[in-house]
Amino acid sequence: MNITDLDVSLSANFDGHERVTFFDDPETGLKAIIALHNTNLGPGFGGCRFYPYTDHQAALEDVLRLSRGMTYKSALVGLPLGGGKSVIIGNPKTDKTPAMMRAFGKAIESLQGRYIVAEDVGTTDDDMVEIASTTIHVSGLPEDKNFPHELRGNPSPITAQGVISGVKSALIHHFGHSNPQGLRFAVQGLGAVGYAAAEILLQEGAQLIVADLDQVRIDKLKSLYPQQVQHVAASDILMVEADVLMPCAMGGILNDTTIPQIKAKIIAGAANNQLALARHDKLLKEAGILYAPDYVINAGGIVAVAYQYFERTHSNPSKFDLTQSGMRSHVEKIKDTTSTILREAAQYDEPTGLTADRLARAIFQK
């Protein structure tokens, strides 16, 4: 395997990253980048995204953005972890092999515990099992006879729980109550997290407008809640009349073109890096749209995989309650954190993302 440390100081999304490494394994076809943003609080923790990037520069900019977000996310959610992320360049449906994932595990192992991986877009818990055969620095493993524990399994429902906690904080801030009954939510993306979040809202009486590229997911949700679910084309979901817009697909969708067309009063969703550029945080404020910063409210996933990792490796640096109830209690704190951010942003008349970043830096830059 060829290992190259990259000089990314001139990259658009460079933010003082500690180390960015490219791994090229001709035998398996692996081409991957692992980015460590900041490890002041602990090892860099973040998922592996397997995606058919247009070129290496696009992959590099994505991993820089994502790893930075993980530092801020871990700090605000109260985990003794830093920010890291990895990307594998390729089509996960056609290029991925077990041998490639095992090779990727060796790449992680070469960093000697400075990076811990979990699943992300394009990777699965089965991939984590393959990675775990060549490194211990992995989480998000499925529950099986070798790993029997209540914390194991898909973290998506826990992520969705945290997102809804953040949504309810935004509802309180804007409407004065946290009850979603009768309100209209526009959900962009019905993947594992988006679908789980949609079901929670539907069970609490919300009205949903949904969009997804997979019609099967839409049809399933509509069959279960025919009176509460409408759907629109993916190209239209950002512009519909709604109380809350929930981006739960890919990032970068809040930009110069889309923000002036958004009719929702609140934006609060699960997708990472929803702001195309940092300045779009201010643009949302100027448009009168309340934005719940994505890395704050989608942090339930990292809590879940962190608890799994602490339990599996018999390490618990902060002595958390490593049970299902302990983990869910930790995730529920997202509601209070979101409330603090929205309240302080209003107090100082600043964009909410700027407030969240300021509070996070006060934690991890100590």
**Tens digits of residue pLDDT in 97-119:** 999 999 999 999 999 999 999 98
Would you place residue 145 in the very low, low, confident or very high pLDDT band (cuts 50, 70, 90)? very low
* Cα Rg of the chain (Å, integer): 20
Predicted confidence at residue 252, as pLDDT, reads: 87
Taking the C-alpha atoms of residue 155 and residue 160, their distance in angstroms, rounded to an integer, is 9
Q: What is the pLDDT of residue 3?
A: 95
Strands 229-231 and 19-25: unpaired
- Per the CB < 8 A criterion, the answer to whether 98 and 24 are in contact is no
Can you tell me the distance from the alpha carbon of 66 to that of 1, in angstroms, rounded to the nearest whole number? 24
Is 220 tagged catalytic? no
CA distance 75 to 45: 11
Please state, in angstroms and rounded to a whole number, the distance separating the CA atoms of residues 83 and 284.
26
In order, the DSSP letters of 257-313 are TTGGG---SEE--S-S--BSSTTHHHHHHHTT-EE--HHHHTTHHHHHHHHHHHHHT
Q: Is the per-residue pLDDT at 45 higher than 90?
A: yes
Domain 2-70+82-132 CATH assignment equals 3.40.50.10860: yes
pLDDT of residue 250: 81
Phi then psi dihedrals of residue 272, to 5 deg = -80, 150
Residue 320, both tokens: 């958390």
The predicted structure's pLDDT at residue 156: 85
| Higher pLDDT, residue 55 or 314 | 55
CA 151, CA 296: separation in Å to the nearest integer? 22
Residue of 85, 96, 168, 285 marked catalytic: 85
On the question of a common fold for 2-70+82-132 and 156-298+334-364, the answer reads: yes
At 330, the pLDDT band (50, 70, 90 cuts) reads very high
pTM of the predicted model over 0.75: yes
Mean pLDDT in residue range 28-47: 97
Six-digit token string for 364:
């991890």
Helix (H, G, I), strand (E, B) or coil at 116: strand
Element (H, E) at 235: none
Residue 94 has pLDDT above 50, yes or no: yes
CA distances from residue 22 to 2, 30, 117 in whole angstroms, order as listed: 8, 10, 16
The verdict on domain 156-298+334-364 having CATH code 3.40.50.720 is: yes
* Average pLDDT score over residue span 335-356: 97
Mean pLDDT of 315-336: 92
Sign of CA dihedral 285, 340, 161, 118: positive
Mean pLDDT score across all residues of the chain: 94
Phi/psi for 59 (5° steps) reads -65, -40
Per-domain boundaries in the chain: 2-70+82-132, 156-298+334-364
Q: What is the pLDDT of residue 93?
A: 94
Q: Tell me what pLDDT residue 151 has.
A: 67
Query: What confidence score (pLDDT) does residue 125 get?
Result: 87
Confidence tier at 148 by pLDDT (50, 70, 90):
very low
A 10 A CB-CB count for 121 gives 16
> Quick one: pLDDT at residue 142?
81
